[in-house]
Structure 1
Amino acid sequence: MGLRQNTADFATGRADSFVPPGNFVGYRPSIEALTNAYAVIEALGPKSRQQIPPVALVQFGEWLGWPEWFKNGTTLVQGPGFPDRISVADDLIVIANIVDHGAAVEMLLRLSGDSKITGAPVVAPALYNAPSLHDALLLAKRSTEVTTPYVKMRLQVDERQFSIAIESEIEHGPLLEFASTAYLCSFQRFIDFFRPDVVEQIKFSFAAKRQGRISAFLDSLPGTKQFDAGIYAMAGDPDWLKARNSQTDPAFWNFALERVALMERDCNQSEVVDRIRAVICKAMETENRVPRLKQVAASERVSERTLVRTLAAHGTSFHKIVEEERRLIASELIGNTSISLAEIARALGFTDMSSFGRSFRQWYGMTPGQARLWRTD
């Protein structure tokens, strides 16, 4: 029998306890994962408001057909799709909704066998254009940590083996079980791409018991498994890491590196820089133009000189922020063939295609047309 959702179901009884960001409607089969999510959000404090790209959640929503419970309890608008960035809190709640509504195994099956690698446009370029397996795993580790700040990946290599262990602020339970297994499935696919001959030799460790909710799926994974291990991890021969990629493209590899570096930078910015980025993005989104420094200073209620000094104190500048946001938006839109290259140029505030083309080549070492062809292929 389903459970009626009420905010009170998750109250801790403390005056300073976490307040759920959204409303609850309808029934849900379980509240176990959601309770785990709330504990993490409360422990993160202000970090739970950090904005991150939805990454795999977009594909999860598409795979599930955007059910009405998918965004339940979040601040997100109901229905298909996500904004470019969502809060860490909303990210955790959506994942908890997937687990509590019994869709975890379906998502894991798609993750382990779907033709698309979740996390594109960062993870896919890292996989298909990384010079070596070691490079691919390192970049995947960085992209995972920056898009899920409640998770750390410990990659260790010695003469006997390499291992990837998952450390998380999520308490042991169904939420951690699903999230950790999803990460391991993604890493397993990296190994399979570089060394398909060794996937049966991967050694998995699961904190979950063999009789857990997704034990049948875990048993189906290639490789050896240790259950009730107290940790989620995988290990293999260190020689696998030397596997080279005959399909590597240095330009697209650098593209992937920059995307992750931009996300890492965003996570370490101050609130004032975040606000300025938001003003710039809104102007490009709604007015197809880049705002003037004078307008942004007015929105902050400071002089232009003060704003310049403030940004310099945070190691950046107005021009640098504009260029970073243009690069990021361009890399997001370039794979969307329903939007013409001319429309992308206008959306970024360029007055003509030649200016857009010159800037794009400076950013990524290729033309917009070349990037679109690669992304669509």
Structure 2
Amino acid sequence: MPAKQHLPDSEADVPPHVIRQVLHLMASRGHSAERLCKGLGFTPENLCDAGFRVSYRQTSVLVRRAMQLWGDPAIGIATGARQTVVCFGLPGLGMLTCPTLGEAMLYLIKYQRAAGALTTNELAVVDERHFSIEVNTRFHDAELEPFFIEEIFVSGVEVARSMVGSHFRPSRLELRYPRPVYASAYNEYFRCPVVFNAPLNRLICDMAWYHCPLPTHDRFMQASLQAQIDQLLSTDAPRNDLVESIMNVLRASVDEMPGLAQAGAALNMSERTLRRRLAELDTSYQRLVDQVRYECALDLLRRSEMPLVDIAMATGFTDARNFRRAFKRWSGILPNQIRQGVPAPRLLMPERTA
């Protein structure tokens, strides 16, 4: 049986910043975050994990659910208006180190995926008096395109106003989709002319804003802080959202790992289907179990002084000897070498049957 075609919209490659804001928005009207997340492979608690990532597929399903419950078609504007520079995470901190608003925008675009963007964004000079931010959706989805375009433009304007003042406003907003029934909300928020059915999604701004200085800039600290942020933002290749969901299940019970059938039940999937889906992704359940145990062991070795026997128990082993043997298979080194400062390699253990 041929493997299914790889689906890019299932790559768990962005932080869940948009999902967090949608859930906050929905909670303000009494809607349950747990219900909105049901069946998506994560819980609201997972959203507090700094390393947690989601896919476009997961986000789009949750947004559709929220749109049905919200009842106001301008939900994209409401979501974007909740964003602050802090919501962008480390890229937001990097923006604050920049000398001008334009350079801060370029920095954010450089790390747009790490900032949670579900669109592709570019900054370009239009002419000697104007620059633009052009936005395109990553996947064709006519129903949700307005939401994602609104969210990214509104959040960008919201952050710009927080950095240089509430008087910031673009020169013009151009949107590819037809004029919606709530078009007046655009004029009210952006305070500039809005053109619908345009060739591109563009926010056009006066060049004076590009050169507007930021009060948070420190020329002595900019280089060193950005170097530290750059290092922290260097990440591995994205995981598939199914893989990420399984690992969330496993992380919740590292000391007593659920079997394949239990993990499948948690994801509303049969054992046979789950095994097949993982094979199509060129991995296995045992591989993911070992990955989670290895991550947990590394964390305990680095951040605690727990004896090896306690770390062994915490990672699902009956004694320290079995833990050492497994750790050597995973990494090629012994656990004590991690505490001696030896860099931890990636998981090396070959596939084994659960």
TM-score of the superposition, structure 1-length normalised? 0.56
* Equivalence for 1:215: 183
**Structure 1 residue 118: deviation in Å?**
5.8
Matches within 5 A, 1:120-269: 120-148=88-116, 151-157=119-125, 158-196=127-165, 199-210=168-179, 212=180, 214-221=182-189, 222-249=191-218, 251=221, 255=225, 258-259=228-229, 262-267=232-237
- The answer to whether structure 1 residue 282 and structure 2 residue 250 are counterparts is no
Deviation of 1:164 after TM superposition, in Å, equals: 0.9
Q: Does the CA-based 8 Å contact 1:192-1:199 persist in structure 2?
A: yes
- Aligned residues of 2:80 and 2:153 also touching (Cα < 8 A): no
The alpha-carbon distance between structure 1 residues 277 and 241, as it changes in their structure 2 partners (threshold 3 A), is farther
* Residue-by-residue CA offset, 1:253-283 (whole Å, 9 max, x unaligned): 85466446533433479x99x9998556434
**Residue 99 of structure 1 corresponds to which residue in structure 2?**
67
Structure 2, unmatched stretches of 5+, are 240-281, 306-310, 313-321, 334-341, 347-354
Counterpart CA distance in 2 for 1:137 and 1:93 is 29
The question of 1:52 aligning with 2:14 is answered yes
Query: For each residue in 1:66-105, what CA deviation from the matched residue of structure 2 results, as whole angstroms up to 9, or x when unmatched?
Result: 6244214401136795544133132333233333433663
Shift of residue 166, structure 1, vs aligned partner: 0.9
What's the CA shift string for 1:10-61, capped at 9, x where partnerless?
Answer: xxxxx9779xxxxxxxxxxxxxxxxxxxxxxx7416xx23353212322332
Counterparts of 1:160 and 1:104, CA distance in 2: 34
- Give yes or no for the alignment of 1:87 onto 2:54: yes
Whether 2:45 is the aligned partner of 1:76: answer: no
Relative to structure 1, is the Cα distance of residues 303 and 98 closer, same or farther in structure 2, using a 3 angstrom cutoff?
A: closer
Letter in 2 for 1:49: E
CA distance in 2, matches of 1:86, 1:279: 19
Of residues 278, 281, 301, the one that matches 2:329 is 301
Return closer, same or farther for 1:277/1:264 CA change in 2, 3 Å cut-off. Answer: farther
Q: Distance in 1 between matches of 2:214 and 2:184?
A: 33
Q: Provide the C-alpha distance between the structure 1 equivalents of 2:4 and 2:99, rounded to a whole number of angstroms.
A: 47
Local SS of the residue matching 1:199: coil
Give the TM-score normalised by structure 2.
0.59
Measured after TM superposition, the shift of residue 197 of structure 1 is 7.6
Distance 1:286 1:188 in 2: 42
Kindly name which structure, 1 or 2, has the bigger radius of gyration based on alpha carbons: 2
1-structure distance, mates of 2:135, 2:325: 43
Greater helix fraction, Structure 1 or Structure 2: 1
**Percent of aligned pairs sharing the same letter:** 12
Q: Is the 8 A contact 2:175 2:202 kept in 1?
A: yes
1:318 matched to 2:343: yes
Partner AA of 1:58 in structure 2: R
Q: Distance in 2 between matches of 1:117 and 1:320?
A: 34
For residues 224-247 of structure 1, what are the alpha-carbon distances to aligned partners after superposition, in whole Å with 9 as ceiling and x for unaligned? Answer: 211111432201122321111123
Aligned residues: 269
CA distance in 2, matches of 1:182, 1:163: 17
Give how far 1:179 is off. Answer: 1.0
* Structure 1: runs of 5+ lacking an equivalent: 1-14, 19-41, 306-316, 322-377
Q: Which amino acid aligns with 2:155?
A: S
User: Take 1:253 and 1:223, find their aligned partners in 2: how far apart are those partners?
Assistant: 36
| Partner of residue 326, structure 1 | none
- Distance across 1 between alignment mates of 2:181 and 2:156: 21
Higher relative contact order (CA 8 A, sep 6+): 2
**Aligned-partner Cα distance in 1 for 2:223–2:209:** 20
Cα deviation, 1:163-198, whole Å, max 9, x if unaligned, reads 111122222523121111111112213433455486
